[in-house]
Amino acid sequence: MAGLNLVLLAGLPASGKSHFARFLSSKLGYPVIAKDAIKEILFDDVGFRSRDEKVKLGVAAMDLMYDQADTLLGQGISVILDNNFENVSLPGVQKLMEKYRPNTVTVRFEGDPKAVYQRFVKRDADPSRHRGHVVNTCYPEAGEPELYVPMGAEAFEEKFRSRGIMDFYPGGKLITVDVTSFENYSEEALYQRLLEELV
């Protein structure tokens, strides 16, 4: 694979993107740029005191993700981007595609939103989950931690469907994978499918 590849891992939160990103990076040797990892640094170093400030940090994290990808692609280095790509993500991705003409492959993790929602709630309730992702009003938190109240299943589906996360596609090649249940999901099999699309 001597060509330049841009691999986008897209789809609903808690669908297995980040785990597969690490697996894929270990197989291919491509660096991973994950928006959530950037957000966690911003949460810890800058913090937020409102939902609006948190959203602004998310926008900054997306800009930094694209800036890092720009640098790597400009050096001829293939890269993996891990993000809940949505409609507002399209301009940044398409700018990279137009500038470098990489072989772009989107792996979109799909499935029954209700099943993915259950994993989403379980993940956010895990004490190891970065609190900046869980709370919306203030981080770092002062005093008693904010009580975690997850959105409902219908709101979860509507939120991510309306933002274009469930059908994100910027052009190039597309692989869809059903992660309704991980019992029928194999990272190795998905990797082999992806290999067929890389140059």
| pTM for this entry | 0.94
Question: DSSP string covering 24-86, please?
Answer: HHHHH---EEEHHHHHHHHHHHT-BSSHHHHHHHHHHHHHHHHHHHHHHHHTT--EEEES---
Residue-wise pLDDT for 50-69, tens only, equals: 999 999 999 999 999 999 99
Express each pLDDT in 142-197 by its tens digit: 878 878 888 888 998 998 999 999 999 999 999 999 999 988 899 999 999 999 99
Helix, strand, coil abundance in the chain, percent, nearest 5: 50, 15, 35
Give yes or no for residue 77 having a pLDDT over 60.
yes
